[in-house]
């Protein structure tokens, strides 16, 4: 495994995959493939390559701090 993608060259498709999963980490593999213009199997293989290299290290959810969330009445 490369340390954080050392020696790994990213092409335009890899960058589109990274952009898509950064925008929506819960995107389905089929939707991701359609979004980046690949069929599902090559897209999945590229995503696995990005994961194994450490460029993609996980998928995380984020939430707003309590004070920033809309509060239903009576707040």
Sequence spans of domains, the chain: 3-53
- Residues 1-57 have pLDDT tens digits of 445 566 789 999 999 999 999 999 999 999 999 999 999 999 999 999 999 999 999
pTM of the model: 0.74
- Quickly name the fold that domain 3-53 has: Arc Repressor Mutant, subunit A (1.10.10)
| 52 vs 38: CA distance, rounded Å | 20
pLDDT over 70 at 71, yes or no: no
Q: What is the mean pLDDT of residues 61-73?
A: 68
Q: How far is CA 75 from the centre of its chain?
A: 36
Predicted confidence at residue 3, as pLDDT, reads 54
29 neighbors 44 (Cβ within 8 angstroms):
yes
């Amino acid at each position: 495994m490369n340390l954080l993608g050392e020696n790994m060259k990213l092409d335009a498709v890899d960058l589109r995959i990274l952009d898509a999963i950064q925008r929506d980490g819960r995107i389905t593999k089929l939707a991701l493939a359609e979004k980046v213009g690949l069929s599902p199997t090559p897209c999945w293989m590229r995503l696995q390559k990005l994961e194994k290299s450490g460029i993609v290290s996980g998928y995380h959810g984020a939430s707003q701090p309590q004070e920033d969330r809309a509060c239903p009445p009576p707040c």
